[in-house]
A and B are shown apart, each in its own frame.
Chain A
Amino acid sequence: GAVVSQHPSWVICKSGTSVKIECRSLDFQATTMFWYRQFPKQSLMLMATSNEGSKATYEQGVEKDKFLINHASLTLSTLTVTSAHPEDSSFYICSATQGLGYNEQFFGPGTRLTVL
Chain B
Amino acid sequence: QKEVEQNSGPLSVPEGAIASLNCTYSDRGSQSFFWYRQYSGKSPELIMFIYSNGDKEDGRFTAQLNKASQYVSLLIRDSQPSDSATYLCAVSPRSNYQLIWGAGTKLIIKP
Chain A residues near B (Cβ < 8 Å): 31-32, 34, 43-44, 46, 49, 91, 93, 95, 97, 99, 102-110
Number of A-B contacts (CB under 8 A): 50
B binding-site residues for A, Cβ under 8 Å = 31-32, 34, 36, 41-46, 49, 51, 88, 90, 92, 97-99, 101-104
10 pairs of residues in contact across A and B, judged by CB atoms under 8 Å = A31-B97, A32-B97, A43-B88, A43-B104, A44-B101, A49-B98, A91-B41, A103-B99, A104-B34, A110-B43
Whether A44 contacts B32 by the Cβ 8 Å rule is no
- B contact patch SS: loop
The complex places the Cα of A84 from the Cα of B101 at a distance, in Å, of 27
Q: Which residue of B lies closest to A101 (CB)?
A: B32
Task: Determine the chain B residues whose CB is within 8 A of the CB of A31 once the complex forms.
Answer: 97
Whether A104 contacts B32 in the complex (CB less than 8 A), given A44-B88, A110-B42, A110-B43, comes out as yes
Q: Are B44 and A46 in contact (CB under 8 A)?
A: no
The CA-CA distance from A105 to B92 in the complex, in Å, is: 10
Contact check, B46 vs A106: say whether CB atoms are below 8 A apart: yes
Residues of A within 8 A of B34 (CB): 104-105
Contact across chains for B101 and A102 when beta carbons are under 8 A apart = no
Known: A43-B104, A44-B88. A105 touches B45 (CB 8 A): no
Which residues from chain A contact B44 at a C-beta distance below 8 Å?
Answer: 44, 93, 95, 107
